[in-house]
Structure 1
Amino acid sequence: MSSAISPTPAPLALYVHWPFCVSKCPYCDFNSHVRESVDQAAWQKALLADLAHEAEALPDRRLTSIFFGGGTPSLMPPATVAAILNAAERHWGFAEGIEITLEANPSSVEAARFADLAAAGVNRASLGVQALDDEALHFLGRAHGVDEALRALQTAQGVFGRVSFDLIYARPGQPLPDWEAELSRAIGYGTEHLSLYQLTIEPGTRFHTEAAAGRLTIPDGDAAADLFEATRQRTAAAGLPAYETSNHARPGAESRHNLTYWRYGDYVGVGPGAHGRREGVATVRRKKPENWMAAVDRNGHGIEAEETLDPVTRATEALVMGLRLREGVDLTRITALAGGREMVNHATLDTMSRQGLIRLEGNRLIVTEAGALLLDAVLREVVVTDGVPG
């Protein structure tokens, strides 16, 4: 007698948002909040309830990655992290070799928790170093100094199996040679992954107010392009090539969780302001911590909006996200997501291909190194929405 072989469940990622920070950085537009005190027991209970709701909505899956983001999730009690991980494993089960990342500030206070966070199950840390210059750290509103950050990095490297850290460049008045020296120093610390972001002025931030008043000017387009090109060249030469617009890793050390986003896989998001995509349904949680908490108490979850996405929206999201990746996107999959509709402007594609900005390898569309400098413009011209490019 033969028996049917059960199909392998499609992989699933989990994002957990911890919204609290010690202070608000002037460049930050993330959903982060400063509170004098946090009822840790109430927050653990609410996060577990929000998690249980998602598990009920999307059963019979297996988690391949979990990401604690914020805010500053290294401020979470390790017992809360452990409780969430235990519940997640109970609800879904863990794939072999699951990646469990937690964002952390590189302060001595938070570094003291690293061993307990690792014991709770975290196996990858992402440190918000942001600069290797004390004056720049002060400008960016960071509470740590360079020496403290490097001590925290050393602690993380001794505790977690995998470590990444962030730097922000294209800061006001930052010369190219200074950034190249800072980047070389960062590479020398031997982490498997670096996230390198150009400073952008986001609406609603203190930097936006400063820029509008003429008190803050970031490098212009040409200078920023020089910094971007130098970043790609130096990381590639060091064996940490860009696998996404701002993310660099040794081959095999890419962030599996973030790859789920960029490859348009399913992920669930719990906690204030968290977004999710589960089988074509978009979920958004309430942003303000108190409103999210009240919603969980009232409804058993913190969802503010839940929407079934139409095929063209899904295909557009997958195309825009996927073209950030060095590997590009499979146009056959994009067309399937769109219900058979064509999602790229082939006339523009041919022109940009001749210009060396994009290329087709079989059915895979890839933005070149030259095109990565102009990614927003490439996307506007190539992606078809509502029957027109852009």
Structure 2
Amino acid sequence: MVPEHPTRDVGFGVYLHWPFCASKCPYCDFNSHVRRAPVDEARYLSAFRTEIAHAAARTRGRRVSSVFLGGGTPSLMQPATVAGLLEAIEAAWGTTLDVEITLEANPTSVEAGRFRGYRAAGVNRVSLGVQALDDASLKGLGRLHSAAEAFAALRTAAAHFERTSFDLIYARPGQSPAAWRAELGEAIARAAEHLSLYQLTIEPGTPFHGLAAAGRLVPPDEDTARALYDVTQEVCSGAGLPAYEISNHARPGAQSRHNLLYWRYGEYAGIGPGAHGRLVTETGRLGTVTERSPEAWLALVEARGHGIVETEDLSAQDQGDEFLVMGLRLSEGIDPARYAALSGRPLDPERIAMLAGDGLIARLPDGRIAATARGAPVLNALVAELSA
């Protein structure tokens, strides 16, 4: 059975990381890898099955409520590989009747036959990495697909899956609030239920970071970035897709249940190269990290049954801090009583009152506290203040 732990029942999730891509985007710092030779999917599937069995042995009594196949580009997998992964999860834990199974896909790897195969395997939700709706912007982001291919992929996804989502990146170099408003309007017209809208960030170690340092790439200044964020909230809310999390917008009932599990500080197993997990064990909450290199991960799993290279027993303070970082991203906010149960101490009512007085957080009718529209852009400062 699940050990007693101060975490409300938000389900148990499994994250599967497929680390391979057709190309590496210049803004991306995810654990993704390009390989010239074909990937031995059968060998990797066997290793995934082994690591799933290892995780299941540590989490007996769970039933999986959400699965997320991320990457990398999971839609480069053959449908038979996806079916094998999902069969392994079912055998290891079992799934709930309403399990949500999401697969990330890039427009360049979308084929109707492959999508039919994913649906037959059990995938019931697809998230497409569209990123922009015009060819010039897509080229600037290093994407391999065109806008026409993106629109075709959206139509194909909608024909095979009841639940679809797609990503866009904004605050791109030279992007104006007016241009983003128009692009966002077009995106909403094509979106069935869910949009993930991310501000471009210049991450260390990426080609974009080098270009920015050399002055060859200039992202919008702080005021323009804030104006773009404000346009995002205004347009999406007006169209019936309010933000339920800082970067994610959905029609009522269409939120990503797997991502809600993360933000509500639930429990999940991280499987595959570079995957992170948060498990509740006999001794408390545990963080896990697997080997990032696909080939090294494969060798570890084949040698010892798992690819975990880092484990951390999370202290009460760690858990409280993580709970704040994740939960305050949500429009529903956090339950102060759960924070106290996790961290071993209550939030300071004087600090809450001060932040509320400054218009940065709001006290909700059910006793929860949430970041306001003014507080959301300075979330890190809010977390630091509340956890001090």
Class of the TM-score when normalised by the shorter of the 2 chains: over 0.9
Task: Give the corresponding residue for 1:35.
Answer: 35
Root mean square deviation of aligned Cα? 1.6
Q: Which amino acid aligns with 1:351?
A: M
Mark the runs of 5 or more structure 1 residues left unpaired by the alignment. 1-6
Structure 1 equivalent of residue 295 of structure 2: 290
* Structure 1 residue aligned with 2:17: 17
1:134-145 matches, within 5 Å, as 134-145=135-146
Taking the aligned partners of 2:62 and 2:167, their CA distance within structure 1 comes to 31
Counterparts in 2 of 1:345 and 1:189: CA distance versus 1, 3 Å: same
Q: Paired residue for 2:275?
A: 274
- Partner of residue 4, structure 1: none
Alignment of 1:304-319 (within 5 A): 304-319=309-324
Residue in structure 2 matched with residue 364 of structure 1 by the alignment? 368
Q: Which aligned runs of 4 or more in structure 1 are off by greater than 6 angstroms? A: 7-10
Q: What are the equivalent positions in structure 2 for 1:163-242 lying under 5 Å apart?
A: 163-242=164-243
Tell me the distance in 1 between the aligned counterparts of 2:352 and 2:110: 51
**One-letter code aligned to 1:308:** D
Whichever residue aligns with residue 68 of structure 2, its letter is F
Give the secondary-structure state (helix, strand or coil) at the position aligned to 2:30.
Answer: coil
Q: For the Cα contact (< 8 Å) 2:9–2:266, is it kept in 1? A: no
The amino acid that maps onto 1:296 is: V
TM-aligned CA deviation for residue 115 of structure 1: 1.1
* Contact 2:75 2:110 survives alignment (8 Å): no
TM-score (norm 2): 0.94
Identity of aligned residues (%): 55
Question: 2:268–2:277: 8 Å Cα contact kept in structure 1?
Answer: yes
Q: Is the 8 A contact 1:74 1:110 kept in 2?
A: no
Give the counterpart of 1:353 among 348, 356, 371: 356
Letter in 2 for 1:360: R
* Counterpart in the other structure of 1:114: 115
What's the counterpart of residue 73 of structure 2? 72
Residues 10/243 of structure 1: CA separation in 2 closer, same or farther (3 Å cut) = closer
1:9–1:61: 8 Å Cα contact kept in structure 2? no
Pairwise CA distance, 1:373? 2.5
Task: Give yes or no for contact 2:321–2:383 (8 Å, CA) kept in 1.
Answer: no
- Residue matched to 2:147: 146
Following TM superposition, by how much is the alpha carbon of 1:274 offset from its aligned partner in structure 2, in angstroms? Answer: 0.3
* Alignment check: 8 A CA contact 1:75 1:110 kept: no
User: Which residue identity lines up with residue 327 of structure 1 in the other structure?
Assistant: E
Q: SS at the partner of 1:225?
A: helix
Shift of 1:109: 4.9
Q: CA deviation at 1:110?
A: 4.4
Question: Matches of 1:9 and 1:326 in 2, distance apart?
Answer: 19
Q: Measure, in 2, the Cα distance between the counterparts of 1:272 and 1:112.
A: 27
The SS at the match of 2:107 is coil
Aligned partner of 1:324 among 324, 329, 345 = 329
Q: Which structure is higher in RCO with an 8 Å CA cutoff and minimum separation 6?
A: 2
Paired residue total: 376
Given that residues 104 and 110 in structure 1 are in contact (C-alpha distance below 8 angstroms), is that contact kept between their aligned partners in structure 2? no
**Quick check: 1:380 aligned with 2:381?**
no
Residues 276, 288 of structure 2: 8 Å contact kept: yes
Distance 1:171 1:377 in 2: 25
Partners in 1 of 2:109 and 2:341 — Cα distance?
Answer: 50
SS of equivalent residue, structure 2 residue 374: helix
1:185 deviates by 0.2
Separation in structure 1 between the aligned mates of residue 356 and residue 341 of structure 2, nearest angstrom? 23
The answer to whether the 8 Å contact 1:21/1:71 transfers is: yes
3-state SS of 2:312 partner = strand
Partner Cα distance (2:231, 2:42) in 1? 47
> Could you list the runs of 5+ residues in structure 2 that have no partner in the other structure?
none
Superposed, which structure 2 residues align to 1:47-66 within 5 Å? 47-66=48-67
What letter corresponds to residue 281 of structure 1 in structure 2? L
Q: 2:24 touches 2:34 (CA, 8 Å); kept in 1?
A: yes
Q: TM-score with structure 1 length normalisation?
A: 0.94
- AA matched with 2:120: A
Q: For the structure 1 residues 225 and 34, does the alpha-carbon distance in structure 2 shift closer, same or farther, using more than 3 Å as the test?
A: same
How far does residue 108 in structure 1 lie from its aligned partner after superposition? Answer: 5.6
In 2: Cα distance, 1:247 partner to 1:204 partner: 26
**Deviation at 1:190?**
3.4
CA contact (8 A) 1:166 1:195 kept: yes
Q: Which moved more, 1:103-112 or 1:62-71?
A: 103-112
Relative to structure 1, the CA distance from residue 53 to residue 108 in structure 2 (aligned partners, 3 Å threshold; closer, same or farther) is: closer
Aligned residue for 2:190, secondary structure, equals: coil
TM-fit CA distance, 1:296 = 0.3
Residue identity in the other structure for 2:34: V
